[in-house]
Amino acid sequence: MNSRDSLHRKKICLNGLQSVLLLSILWGAGCGAGDSKKHRPALSDLTPIDLTHSFDKETIYWPTDESGFVLEEVFHGTTDGGYYYEANRFSSAEHGGTHLDAPIHFAENGLTAEALPLKNLIGPAIKIDVSGSTSANRDYLISVDDVKDWESRNGPVPDGSIILFATGYAAGWPNRAQYLGTDLTGPEAIPNLHFPGIAPELATWLTSDRSIRAVGIDTPSIDYGQSSDFRTHRILFEHNIPAFENVASMDALPESGFTVIALPMKIRNGSGGPLRIVALVP
C-alpha cells in the first residue's frame, strides 16, 4: 500500500467516525441520563419539526435595522447552453429572523459564533410553556417559579438541557404590531416594544442552580421588550450560554424528551447569525 492509499483510507475512517459520533449524539441526546438504550427510539422513528421562520421580505428584524432581509436575483432562466439555472445573493444583519445570539454579543470575552462548541447547539431539550401568562401581559417576565412549575410535573431540569421558552408570540409572526407591540421602525420604535422575555433573576438562577446548554424563545429577544440594560443577555452570555431568538411555533413540541439541533451560519468572529433550528421528537 502506498502512502497516498494509506492517507485516503485514514480519511475515510475519520469521516466514518465523525458520522457515527454525530448519529450517536442525535440518537441519544433526547434521552435522559438514566434511560437505557432499549428505551431510545430509532432515528427513523423521530419526527423532525422545523422551528425556523423563513427568511424573506417580511422577516422581522430589530426596529433600528430598517434594511431587513434582501434577496437579489443574479440569474433566473435558460442559459446560452440551453439548461435552466437560478442563483441569488442575499444580505442580512446577524440578528434578525430566527437567529443565534453568540455570547460575544453581550460579553466582551464571550465565544463568537464559529467558536461555539456543537454541544451547545445540539442536545436534549425541554419546552417551558408560559403562554397562559403572556397572553394577558405583553411585558411578562418568565420567572424561576415558571421553571419550578415545570419541574413539579417533570422533575429537575436535566443537566445539559437546551431550554425552549414558548410564549405563544410566534403566532403573531410576521405582523410587526402583534409580534413587537409596534409597527414603528427606527429609534422611535424602541420605547414602544412590548413582548415577554426571561427575567434576569431566572438567568442568574439557571447559571448557578442548573446546568444548561442554551436557551431559546419565540420572541425577538431573551430580554423583554421594555428592557434597557439587557441584563438577561449579559448574565447568560458571561457564562457562554448562547440564545436562539425568533424561534417559530413550538406548539407541536412535548414538554420534554426531544432533541434540538440549532445550526447557525458559521460566521468567523460573528456575534450571531441566521439559524436553522429543528426538533427531533419521538
CATH of the domain at 268: 3.50.30.50
* pLDDT tens, residue by residue, 6-39: 434 434 343 444 443 454 455 444 444 344 445 6
pLDDT of residue 17: 40
- Which residues in the chain come in under a pLDDT of 50? 1-21, 23-24, 27-37
The model scores a pTM over 0.85: yes
For residue 90, the model assigns a pLDDT of 98
**Does any domain span residue 253?**
yes
Q: What is the mean pLDDT of the chain?
A: 90
The rounded Cα 139 to chain-centroid distance in angstroms is 21
| CA 248 vs CA 17, 39, 43, 233: distances in Å | 33, 29, 23, 20
Q: Is residue 222 part of a domain?
A: yes
What pLDDT digit, counting tens, does each position of 37-72 carry?
A: 456 778 889 999 999 999 999 999 999 999 999 999
Q: Which domain holds residue 183?
A: 28-58+94-281
For the record, the C-alpha cell of 265 comes out as 451560519
Domain count, the chain: 1
Render pLDDT for 259-268 as a digit per residue (tens, 0 to 9). Answer: 999 999 999 9
Are the CB atoms for 236 and 206 separated by under 8 Å? yes
Q: Residue 80: inside a domain, yes or no?
A: no
Task: Provide the pLDDT for residue 43.
Answer: 81
Q: Is the N-terminal amide bond of 103 cis, ω within 30° of 0?
A: no
pLDDT at 42: 82
Place of cell 445540539: 122
Domain assignment of residue 18, yes or no: no
In a domain, 117, yes or no: yes
Output the pLDDT for position 39: 65
Q: What is the pLDDT of residue 272?
A: 98
